[in-house]
């Protein structure tokens, strides 16, 4: 398979892709999340891996919007514990480091460590592993990357400081994406949906009551602004399913109450 990942080989997206599908596939590196849905739509990749939320930084709202805009299908998920390491060319110490390059999210998650070393200039870049790759290729002294262990291993960098993320309980949720083909798995116990409601008092409460009445445990709900409609929002929700018949009945009722309902995916709970 051709699998689209955000970042280079060695990125956290690459790690998730290899854990789910193995290393024998072809991995298409995308520096921008926007590239993944475009490649899926054109048929240039079979699957895409996309981060949607983190235990520290919260939801990645633009990615929810991309899933909706391109009518993508969520066919799986994976929760990856995140450990950030400071790495550079072998033989260097932290006193030798002038700059650290990494993705803004990784830098944010390591801000407490970075504050202890004010002599290091922080440089935001598009990917964690890509920075490790550039340091190796250009043999850059005095430059460090913040990335995962897999990147240090692949690009033969030395880890100067391990697990420098501020919160040691740090995990990211990734979803597996493909195009809607009408062939959802029958062995599912989780669903991701998107719905729009009228501006009426209690409209959201009515939907939540439907979930409750049919035994659906809502593990997440997220409001996202609707493009070109200021101050209007769509709701994204994840539902844990014990009884599929009750779930189907609930979706029928939600479809009647909501202005719009879209099933983004039905899949196995990865947590």
How far apart (Å, rounded) are the C-alpha atoms in residues 254 and 50? 27
Assess whether 157 and 89 both reside in one domain: yes
Tokens of 27: 């991995």
Lowest mean pLDDT among 44-48, 61-65, 73-77, 185-189: 185-189
Residues 6 and 77 in one domain: yes
d(CA 15, CA 102): 17
Strands 99-102 and 121-124: parallel
Question: Residue range 70-80: average pLDDT?
Answer: 95
Average pLDDT over residues 111-134: 95
Whether 185 is covered by a domain: the verdict is: no
Q: How many domains does the chain have?
A: 3
Per-residue pLDDT at 30:
95
Look at residues 6, 5, 21, 16 and name the one whose alpha carbon lies nearest to residue 150: 16
Q: How much is the pLDDT for 181?
A: 65
Strands (E), 117-186: 121-124, 143-147, 158-161, 171-179
Q: Is 119 exposed, middle or buried (0-12, 13-18, 19+ CB in 10 A)?
A: exposed
At residue 224 the predicted structure's pLDDT band, cuts being 50, 70 and 90, is: confident
Whole-prediction pTM: 0.90
Rg (CA), the chain: 21
Q: Which residues contact 104 (CB under 8 A, 6 or more apart)?
A: 124
Residue 135 covered by a domain: yes
Same domain, 61 and 103: no
CA distance 20 to 230: 39
In angstroms, the Cα distances linking 15 to 35, 69, 148 are: 19, 26, 9
> Is residue 197 located within the same domain as residue 257?
yes
Given a contact cutoff of 8 angstroms between Cβ atoms, the answer to whether 266 and 216 are in contact is no
Which of these three, 179, 206, 241, is where a domain ends? 179
Q: Which domain holds residue 74?
A: 2-81+170-179
Question: What token pair was written down for 222?
Answer: 């997220």
Q: How far apart are CA 130 and CA 233, in angstroms?
A: 35
**270, part of any domain:** no
Structure tokens at 211: 């979930």
Domain boundary among 179, 208, 240: 179
CATH number of the domain that residue 6 is part of? 3.40.190.10
């Amino acid at each position: 398979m051709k699998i689209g990942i955000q970042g280079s080989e060695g990125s956290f997206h690459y790690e998730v892709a290899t854990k789910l599908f193995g290393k024998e596939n072809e991995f298409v590196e995308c520096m921008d999340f926007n590239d993944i849905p475009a490649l899926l739509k054109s048929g240039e990749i079979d699957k895409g891996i996309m981060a949607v939320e983190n235990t520290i930084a919260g939801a990645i709202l633009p990615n929810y919007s991309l899933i909706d805009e391109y009518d993508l299908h969520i066919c799986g998920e994976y929760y990856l514990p995140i450990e950030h390491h400071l790495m550079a060319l072998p033989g260097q110490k932290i006193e030798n480091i002038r700059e650290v390059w990494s993705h803004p999210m990784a830098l944010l998650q390591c801000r407490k460590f970075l504050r202890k070393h004010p002599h290091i200039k922080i440089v935001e870049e598009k990917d964690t592993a890509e920075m490790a790759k550039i340091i190796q290729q250009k043999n850059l002294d005095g430059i460090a990357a913040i990335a995962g262990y897999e990147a240090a291993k692949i690009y033969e960098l030395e880890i100067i400081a391990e697990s420098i993320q501020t919160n040691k309980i740090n995990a990211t949720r990734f979803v597996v994406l493909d195009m809607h083909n009408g062939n959802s798995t029958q062995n599912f116990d989780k669903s991701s949906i998107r719905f729009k409601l009228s501006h009426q008092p209690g409209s959201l409460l009515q939907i939540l009551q439907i979930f409750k009445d049919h035994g659906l445990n809502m593990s997440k709900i997220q409001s996202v602004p609707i493009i070109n409609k200021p101050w209007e929002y769509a709701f994204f929700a994840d539902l844990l399913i014990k009884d599929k018949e009750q779930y189907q009945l609930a979706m029928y009722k939600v479809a009647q109450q909501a202005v719009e309902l879209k099933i983004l995916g039905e899949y196995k709970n990865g947590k």
